[in-house]
Structure 1
Amino acid sequence: MKLQIWHCPSWRPLSLETGRLKPPPSSTVVLGAQWGDEGKGKVVDLLATDADVVCRCQGGNNAGHTVVVDGKEYDFHLLPSGIINSKSISLIGNGVVIHLPGLFEEGDKNEKKGLKGWEKRLIVSDRAHIVFDFHQVVDGLQETERQAQEGKNIGTTKKGIGPAYSSKASRTGLRVCDLLGDFKDFSMKFKNLVHQFQSMYPALTVDEYAERLRPMVRDGVYYMYEALHGSPKKILVEGANAALLDIDFGTYPFVTSSNCTVGGACTGLGIPPLNIGDVFGVSKAYTTRVGIGAVGELLQTRGHEVGVTTGRKRRCGWLDLVIVRYAHMINGFTAIALTKLDILDVLDEIKVGVAYKLNGKRIPHFPANMDVLHKVEVEYETFPGWKTDTSAARKWNDLPAKAQNYIRFIENHIGVPIKWVGVGKSRECMIQMF
């Protein structure tokens, strides 16, 4: 008998009622387009008001998102920023590494500020890996060793994120499902994990969190599938860190230990690429982490550029469109949120980096090698400052013409529409463009 092979023209399922292809259910992803601290939490908070499920897909409590609602400032590190929305579910996905004491400390701290019922709205994937205290000790020791041997360190938050992902990659890490299983078996695996690091570390204490955690734990893969295909829900994915900190695509080795680009949403939650819809990039109207001098100090002071997690001052400089375009190449942004425009209000002129030169010639790419990157010269475009307070602007026409020109230039250079412009801390200060 001859075997007949039927070729489906699309992965999209057929509707049994009409026989027509159904559009795939999709999720919205919010990602940083620079080195982090772009204001993703504010954008997620804005979008979460209309979301059913808000997810964290990677990273750990090395990330920090600040959200201001009704004059109250909430700091989130492991909890998704959408936890503020009492009508949505928040999910910590399998791609996140969780320090359990930090998780509950964070929740309790924000509860005192007015965050009610967060434990009942939080789901934790049973496949998420656990960060132990000894991971944090190792993180600090590694930084000290780098400083001693090389005269410089990576600048990690010392939250144990890298060592925890190392345990995961070496297949000796422990997951939430292990903690909630046979605790004797868990303890034995824990001792083996400690032995791998060949040193003495603090005693095991996570057992006290097991029962408090248990009601939150679900199989994240099946939960996400039902959210997409069962009774379809509006899903919002919150990326931590940012494109230039991605372990593969960032300024290696000065990066984080996870994939904080769009692929991390798939691997960190179990969402197929087919079900990724809009991908929103978030960029400040200037750049933090790079830049020195008087302008950098002014931006640092006006923008309150201090890390939410570490308290370290951020280096500040002009907006670098080379890196934002590079981030777009990797992530495929469908729109961009431009934050902190108001910080530029007092400047007489504003520069924007548009290209890199090496040995006097433009280079068509963002260098992978850090030694090469240190040698590049940035080519700038200069714009007149608008010298006007924009913090009260609530729609496009409220912005001065020179600020509008600055925004349009960024939009045209990147080739991605700017959907929101931020001019302050609260969600009310986000101007929606379309």
Structure 2
Amino acid sequence: MSTPLPSDETATQASKSALRQHIESTGNPSHADQLDSSDFPEGGVTAWGTALGAFLIQFCGAGYTTSYGVFQDFYTQTYLTNSTPSEIAVSDLQWYSWIGSVNAFLTFSVGLLSGRLLDRGAFYHVMKIGCFLQCLFLFMLSLAKPNGYYQASLIFLSQGIGSGFAIGLTNVPSIAVVSHHFQRRRAFVMGLVVAGVSMGSILHPIMLNNLINGRLGFANGVRASAAMIGSLLLIAYFLMHTRLPPQPKAVSYTRVLQNSSRDYAYICACLGIAAFEVGFFFVAFYLQLDSRLHGVSKEFSFYSLTISNTSSFIGRLATGAVTAYVGIPNTIIGCSFISSAIIFSMIGLRSLVSVALIGISYGFFSGATVGLIGPLTSYLTPEISDIGARMGISFTMTGKSVGSPICGAALTSHYIWWRPVVLAGVSESCEITFFGFWLTSYLEPRG
């Protein structure tokens, strides 16, 4: 090991001195063994318990968001009881798409706030508030009834805004806190954590389809799912622990933004993921409706999202092994290229077999791409003290995708499916351009 330069040693001593002052001011000796923040445990009960808790947060949060296709189909087919599917106005399609899109937007963009709170040591407070609000707004959603303007507004406020904000409070901190416990295996463990999204999007559609369209109906079905989610969130809260002490000084978003604005690889990664999510949420929100309107049986259509999300779960798990050999940039470029090609193939969706093939293939490669968002952001963050802020910024940029309502407008009331398919496919092709041109040029020196 080489001897550090005097300037490096001075900086290290200054950093440790600042942490000692923080420990003395807070009187919390539990942080005393964290003076060297580079000494990651890379395992242990606390570390893996935190990873499991983060997995459950992703299962209940973003996993529920990506299951919105069940609600999209239900609202379109059932809540508009005075219209046949061929008579539903495009404004209705856009309205119901906006509910899911606003929810997804807030799920990611609220990370700008929650990531900063994580860096400031408010992790437990943020998690308590987020978990409570998520359960509260789900129970509020169960009060909505079909037919009635104020009921549609209640759905939008509770499911679109309220639930999205609550999930956003827990989303980024639950991923970022994993970086407190792992460094060498960080990409692998984060891949396991975000696999909770796929696991949630596998089980939630099965449960919701059977509860909402079964004996319980919409109100009791949503309440049953809310009760289950509340129990899992409580378990997750007690499992997760922070390791590093809060930053002695607040992370300056101005400084982080200035540094990020000069990091072309980071900017293009955010833009690329934002473009990718236009296609990702189009498939998540419309695959079940598309299969039903093309004559696929109601029973199989209910499981179309489950098929896709099961494959997505496998894809997210596979990324941890693949990136160890080919790297994060090459993996995300390859998977996004294949995902784009599969979206174009949705033009030919006509039968049960085509639904299954598209669901399996797109789920695997899109899941692999989405599963690398967290590790990619962490990989592009040179200072661990900025990881909460920078992950919040990147999630905000990637969460601003409004592709689902735009695709709903392109679909029209006549259900011309090739239009939104081309729009989503072209958008993902643009993402490949961002990744291919910039990441391959700028990420190599970082390795």
TM-score relative to the length of structure 1? 0.24
Say which structure, 1 or 2, has more relative contact order (CA 8 Å, 6+ apart).
Answer: 2
Question: Which structure has the highest strand share of the two?
Answer: 1
